[in-house]
Amino acid sequence: MNSLIKCIRDIEKSKTIAIICHTIPDADALASLVALKKIIRQNFNLSDESKQIDLFVDADEINEINSAIVNGIELNNRRSEHYDLAISVDCASLSRLGKYAEIFEEANNTINIDHHVTNERFAKNNLVFKTSSTCEALYIIAKSQDWELSDEVCKLVYSGIITDTNNLTQGTITVNTHKIITEMVSRKINVDALNQHFFQNNTKSKAYLLKQALDSLTFFAGDRIAFMKLTKQDISECEATVEDTYGIVNHGTEIKGVDISILAIKQEDNSYQVSLRSKGNVDVSNIAKAFGGGGHENMAAFNYSGLLADLKEQLIPACREELLKHPKEEKENLFDNSDEIEEQSQTKG
């Protein structure tokens, strides 16, 4: 049986469902968590009594911007000892479910809906898409079944896509992604408000944290690698949250000539949470994987136990090796004005 059809049957027949997203959730994780519940509610035509859907996310705190997504929604209320079905969303591995991995493991049936290339296919049914976001994957599933998508679900889908692609500038962006965005824009949803909410809404704390990170900026490999660091102490001194560190690593790839940007955040146990970003075909997912992490071609992360000097000693050569596969080329002209130039030379001639 087609695995999507099998998943839909599993959802249909399950009385108790747990939906779980990854720990330290980003907007796509939270939006897909909420959207999936709404999609099931709206399209499986079931009353509250016949189906119980509980949402879980292992997070001590969710930043102000992302918490708007789950505003008023009950999270982490375990109403069943064992769930008939557990569905993970936006999660590449079982361990990334954090403390709620246990619920997943104990469920009778499991589904994994994701878009990470490093997804470990840890469920009985794995729906891993090559999409910009898990929200886009949910949209594709819903459309393939001719399900109804409410404006509320569309808002969530839109939010997941624009945040996971950094406003359509990175990640797996296809013609289909743009088509979905077009559909969302033509709906009666306030995309301007969503754009402002996600991209022009940083706290002062985050700005101070960015200042700290930029203070530490150093370059390697002929300025093709940008390296920044932060500590948990920096975060608390700036009165910032862990989520406020998101996006800081992107400032490295915004620099001309930089192909890989690295942000290492020292944790309380002296280990490092390392984020990697890259441009174009430069692939950082394999580098992260070699260090026990994972992610996407242009966006990956891993944890490192050890000293910062040792981390750099191993990580910078690994990045250099990847860069060797992509020698710096002269950028060709983005705009072709040769016709104008020819015309000018003819006039002069």
Residues that bind Mn ion (CB under 5 A): 28, 90, 133-134, 164
DSSP label at 189?
Answer: S
Please, what is the minimum distance in Å from the beta carbon of residue 121 to Mn ion? 17
Residue nearest to Mn ion (CB): 28
Nearest-approach distance from CB 296 to Mn ion, in angstroms: 9
Output 163 or 241, the one with its CB closest to Mn ion. Answer: 163
Q: Report the nearest approach of Mn ion to the CB of residue 212 (Å).
A: 27
Residue 139, CB-side half-sphere exposure with 13 Å CA sphere: 30
Q: How far apart are CA 213 and CA 327, in angstroms?
A: 28
User: How far apart are CB 152 and Mn ion at their closest, in Å?
Assistant: 19
**For residue 242, how many other CB atoms are within 10 A of its CB?**
17
* Cα 193 to the center of its chain, rounded Å: 21
We find the least distance from the C-beta atom of residue 15 to Mn ion, in angstroms, to be: 29
Q: What's the Cα-to-Cα distance from 328 to each of 136, 226, 257, 282, 286, rounded to whole Å? A: 33, 16, 9, 11, 20
115/266 with CB nearer Mn ion: 115
CB-nearer residue toward Mn ion: 33 or 265: 33
Beta carbon nearer to Mn ion, 133 or 253:
133
Nearer to Mn ion, 26 or 244 (CB): 26
Per-residue burial over 141-165, b = 16 or more CB atoms within 10 Å of its CB, e = otherwise: bbeeeebebeeebbbbbbbbbbbbb
Radius of gyration (C-alpha) of the chain in whole angstroms? 22
